Amino acid sequence: MKILLVDDSRTIRNIQKSVLMQLGHNDIVEASDGLEALDQYKRESPDLIFIDWNMPNMDGITLVRKIREIDKNTPLIMCTTQAEKSRVLEAIKAGVNNYVVKPFMTESLAEKITQTMEKAKATATAG
Amino acid sequence: MDVRYVNPFITATCNTFQAMCATPVTVGKPEVKTGEDPSSDVSAIIGFSGDATGAVVLHLSFDTAAKTATRFAGMEIDPEHPDFADALGELADMVAGGAKDHFEGLNINISLPSVVVGKAHSVSASKSAPRLIIPCKTDLGSFSVEVGMVMDRAPARIKKLEATGAMS
């Protein structure tokens, strides 16, 4: 399974990477803003994407909308400091499958990944 | 600045350091900043705009900043490391994001982080936004959180200061 991490903070991408590797996911690609992520998405066809909200050049919510215009299925997890209900609803409306608020415990990040992938698998099987 | 607005920043600072650096924060009594800017070696700054304007700044010494970045990133990070500023900016982002969640009913936008690194520098801000200094202690060292915020309108609800365990 290929995973795309989109965050302007390399520290956060490294933390996410280490959690994913502990879960056995080693095929990981990275992008530091929405524009770079869109390129990576088209080139790499990832199976799961982590998206930060606040980023330079193209923010995360715009990226989610752009991906959903062409792909309704790839699971998207928003991982952001934006914790307000209104922002969570906005992200869900835009098409994210799960939402992680920073700061996060690595255990809860792992749980959200497992949860999201299981749901995606169940949906694909049902479809 | 209304002193009640400091509470969300205390809560967010405690949550951020506990979750990302595995250290509890002992919070001192917040004080209104007067006179000269406090000098620090590292300042991680996040600006606010929208229904509130201002900024939150984490002030740290080189030693505390390096220990904090190292714990946060899970790898040795000294002030020369390329991820030093990135790590501290991200912590400031989490403090700002966590705090703004507490101002119910307000639409507040936060900027991307800016990090100033330099021995004993000071950060100046608009005099129209009075600033509060929150002294903090962790097992990684002491630092302070500076908050300057002007609300265009009052939030619908805000948590009380006593709930944070800040020393009076």
Please give, rounded to a whole number of angstroms, the shortest distance from the CA of B35 to a CA of chain A.
32
Main-chain dihedrals φ then ψ at residue A32, nearest 5 degrees: -105, 5
Interface touch B86/A81, C-beta < 8 Å: no
pLDDT at B47 over 70: yes
- pLDDT of B107 above 80: yes
CA distance B94 to chain A (A): 6
Helix (H), strand (E) at residue B117:
strand B114-121
B71–chain A Cβ distance below 8 A for any pair? no
Of residues A41, A58, A105, the one with CA closest to residue A79: A105
As a dihedral over the C-alpha atoms of residue A71, residue A72, residue A77, residue A82, rounded to 10 degrees, the angle is 100
Q: A-B interface: how many C-beta pairs under 8 angstroms?
A: 58
Q: A60: domain range?
A: 2-126
User: Burial of B127 by CB count in 10 Å (0-12 exposed, 13-18 middle, 19+ buried)?
Assistant: exposed
| Tens digit of each residue's pLDDT (9 = 90 or more) over B136-157 | 999 999 999 999 988 877 776 6
Nearest-angstrom CA–CA distance, B53 and A57: 23
Calpha distance B5→B87 (Å, rounded) = 26
The C-alpha atoms of residue B80 and residue B50 are separated, in whole angstroms, by 35
Summarize pLDDT for A78-126 with one digit per residue, the tens.
Answer: 999 998 989 999 999 999 999 999 998 888 888 998 899 888 888 877 7
Identity of the residue in B69, B73, B97 whose CB atom sits nearest the CB atom of A83:
B97
- Estimate to the nearest angstrom the gap between the alpha carbon of A17 and the chain centroid: 12
Total structural domains in chain A?
1
Distance from the A74 Cα atom to the nearest Cα atom in chain B, whole angstroms: 27
- Positive or negative, the CA dihedral B15, B16, B19, B22 is negative
CB contact under 8 A, A11 and B101: no
Domain ranges of chain B: 3-152
Alpha-carbon torsion angle A54, B64, B127, B124, nearest 10: -90
What is the DSSP-derived secondary structure letter of residue B39? P
Question: If you average pLDDT over every residue of chain B, what do you get?
Answer: 88
What average pLDDT score do residues A49-67 get? 97
- How many Cβ atoms are within 10 Å of B61's Cβ, its own excluded? 17
Q: Is the pLDDT of residue A37 over 60?
A: yes
| CATH code, domain with A103 | 3.40.50.2300
Q: Write down the ipTM of this complex.
A: 0.90
Lowest mean pLDDT among A65-69, A92-96, B66-70, B122-126: B122-126
- Domain B3-152 falls in which CATH fold? Chemotaxis protein chec (3.40.1550)
